[in-house]
Amino acid sequence: MSPRYGSILDTIGNTPTVRINNLGPAHVNLYAKIEAFNPMGSVKDRLALGVIEDAERRGELTPGQTVVEATSGNTGIGLAMVCAQKGYPLVVTMAENFSVERRKLMRFLDAQVVLTPAAEKGSGMVAKAEELAQEHGWWRSRQFENPANAEIHARTTAVEILEDFADVGLDYWVTGFGTGGTLNGVSRVLRARSPRTRILVCEPDNSAILASGIAQPRGADGNHNQSHPAFRPHLMQGWTPDFVPKLIEPVLADQRFDAFLGINGQEALRCTHELASREGIFVGISAGATFAGALQVAAEASAGSHILCMLPDTGERYLTTPLFEDVAVDMTEEELTLSRSTPGYRFDGGGSTPASVDTAELDPDAKREVAATLADPLAPVVMFSLEWCEFCWSVRKVFDRYRIPYRALDLDSTAYQSDDQGGKIRAVLKAQTGWNTLPLIFIGGEFVGGCTDLFDEIKSGSLFNRLNAHDADYDASVVTDPYTLLPGWLHPR
C-alpha cells in the first residue's frame, strides 16, 4: 500500500535503478539511476532539501529570510519547491543562455530569476548571487561549496545505490558533475563500503577541466577569481561549470575516482534521443552524456559486470535547446501520408470530415439571446468562446494588449450547461455564420471571423476602422504582432 506523505519534501529520493535492455552490450548488466523521479524532476531536489534543512538546524537560516543561489536551473527549481513548502522567498541568478523553460518553472514556483550575461558564464551568476546576498542580507545556499550538498548524497543517494546492488555488487559507477555534490558524497561512501566499485567521472571532451590536471585559480579568500583555463562552452547544461567547484577538490585530493571520460556533445544528444526512443527513458542532455560514458565503460568491461550510471534530470528542461531542434512541430511527410490514408479529419482539403447531423429546430430562446447580445450598443465587441481553448486565450490576450473592452460568452462554462444552453447557442451561431468552430468574434453585430481573422484585421488596420465606427475604445499606441500571442506550439511560417 502507498504511504501517506507529510509534504512533497518527503517524496525526495529513493529513485529507481532501471535496467537498460536495448542499448547496452549483451555481455554486461547496464543500469541507470533515474533522478527525474524526484518531485521536481532532477537530482538537485536532494541538494535543495539538504542545504536548507542543514541551515535550519544550525540556525543559519531564519524564518522568512530570503534565499539566494546561482543556478543553471535544476538547483533553482529544487530550491523553489523547498522554499515554497517551507515559506522562504527565493531569488536565483542564472546565465541568460540556459533554457527558457527553467526560468518559467522557477517563476511558477514563485521564485524570482535575475539573469546574468552569457559572456560572464557560471562565474558571473555566482558573483551576482554573492553581490545580492551582501547587499540585502540574504542567505546564500552556496551549492558549489556547501558540505551539506555532498552530505545528503552520502546519506541518501549512496545508500540507495548500495542497497540496490547488495546482492550482486557494483563494478562501475559512472557520473558527470555540476556542483560536485553527488560525486563527492557518493564516492566517499563507495570507497569506504564498496572498494571494488570503479568510479568514472564524465566531462565534455572539449572542456575537460578535471582531466587537464590544471588547478583552479583561486584568490586569497579561496574563491575562484577567474574561469578555469581549460573550460570551453559545451552542450551539457548543468554539467561542468567554468570552474572547479570546491566540493570537487576532496575528490581529487583523495583520488576518489578511477578515470575521466571525455564525452562528445553530439554523442550526448544521440544517446539522449536513443534513451527515449529505444528505452522509453525521457531525460536531459547531461543524462545522455553520462549514458554515453557508461556505454564506453560497458564496451570494455568484463562479462557479467554490473554498471550503474546517473541520469540527473528530465528531458522537459530542454525543449528550447538543441536536443529538440530537429523534432517537428507540424506533421512530417510520413504523418501526412498516414493522415491521407483515410478520408476524414484532414487539413489538406483532400478528404471530407463527416459533419454531425442535427435535425432539431433552432432553439427560440437561444436565437433571442444571440440576437440581443449582438444588438447591445454598450458592448459592441463580442466573442463567443470556450473557457478552455488556446485560440480563445490568444484573442483575450490581444484584446487585453490593445485594451479593447469586450464581452465573452464562454459556452462551455457552468452557466451555459443547464439544458445544453451552450450547445443550442452554438447551433444558432453555426446557422448564422456557417462556422462550427470557436471563437466567433462580432463587432457591432457584424461577424469578423475567428482568431486568425481578427489578427489579420489588426495587421491590415481594418479592425480599428470597425472599432471607430462603433465608438469602441482601444489603445492606439500599441504596436504588436498578434500572431506572437498564438499558442507556443502553433506559429505561422
Q: Is 286 a catalytic residue?
A: yes
Average pLDDT along the chain: 92
354 has a pLDDT exceeding 60: no
pLDDT value of position 351:
53
In the set 141, 286, 305, 394, the catalytic residue is: 286
The predicted-structure confidence for 52-85, as pLDDT tens digits, reads as follows 999 999 999 999 999 999 998 899 999 999 999 9
Closest to 247 measured CA to CA, from 50, 414, 489: 50
Q: What is the helix (H) or strand (E) element at residue 277, kind and residue range?
A: helix 265-279
Going through 259-360 in order, the beta strands assigned E by DSSP cover: 259-263, 306-311
Instruction: Determine the length of the chain.
Output: 493
Written as nine digits, the cell of 344 is 476524414
What average pLDDT does range 455-481 have in this prediction? 94
SS3 content of the chain, % helix, strand, coil (to 5): 45, 15, 45
427 has a pLDDT exceeding 50: yes
Q: Name the phi and psi angles at 337, rounded to 5.
A: -60, -40
What does pTM read for this prediction?
0.79
The predicted-structure confidence for 9-22, as pLDDT tens digits, reads as follows 999 999 999 999 99
356 has a pLDDT exceeding 60: no
Q: Which of 233-247, 337-351, 412-426 comes out lowest in average pLDDT?
A: 337-351
The predicted-structure confidence for 156-181, as pLDDT tens digits, reads as follows 999 999 999 999 999 999 999 999 99
Q: Which residues does 253 contact at the CB level (< 8 Å), separation at least 6?
A: none
**DSSP-assigned beta bridge partners for residue 447:** 442
pLDDT value of position 353:
45
Q: Is 424 a catalytic residue?
A: no
Query: How does residue 493 score in pLDDT terms, banded at 50, 70 and 90?
Result: very low
Domain spans, the chain: 13-36+170-214+235-324, 364-485
The predicted-structure confidence for 124-156, as pLDDT tens digits, reads as follows 998 999 999 999 999 999 999 999 999 999 999
Q: What percent of the chain has pLDDT over 90?
A: 80
C-alpha 242/C-alpha 229 separation (Å) is 9
Closest to 56 measured CA to CA, from 80, 88, 81, 78: 88
Q: Which residue has the cell 558549489?
A: 144
Fold agreement (13-36+170-214+235-324, 364-485):
no
DSSP per residue over 217-232, as a string?
PB-TTSSB-S--TT--
| CATH number, domain 13-36+170-214+235-324 | 3.40.50.1100
The answer to whether residues 164 and 18 touch, using CB atoms and an 8 Å cutoff, is no
In the set 33, 42, 44, 128, the catalytic residue is: 44
The answer to whether residues 51 and 151 touch, using CB atoms and an 8 Å cutoff, is no
DSSP per residue over 108-151, as a string?
HTT-EEEEE-GGGHHHHHHHHHHHHHHHHTPEE--TTT-HHHHH
**DSSP-assigned beta bridge partners for residue 90:** 67
38 vs 118, more confident: 38
The answer to whether residues 89 and 66 touch, using CB atoms and an 8 Å cutoff, is yes
Query: Taking CA 91 as the corner, what is the angle to CA 177 and CA 33, rounded to the nearest 5 degrees?
Result: 30
The predicted-structure confidence for 297-351, as pLDDT tens digits, reads as follows 999 999 999 999 999 999 998 888 888 988 888 888 999 899 999 988 877 665 5
C-alpha 16/C-alpha 161 separation (Å) is 10
The whole-angstrom distance between residue 65's C-alpha and the CA centroid of its chain comes to: 27
| CATH number, domain 364-485 | 3.40.30.10
The answer to whether residues 346 and 339 touch, using CB atoms and an 8 Å cutoff, is yes
Q: How many CB atoms lie within 10 A of CB 255?
A: 10
The predicted-structure confidence for 22-32, as pLDDT tens digits, reads as follows 999 999 999 99
Helix (H, G, I), strand (E, B) or coil at 435: coil
pLDDT value of position 1:
53
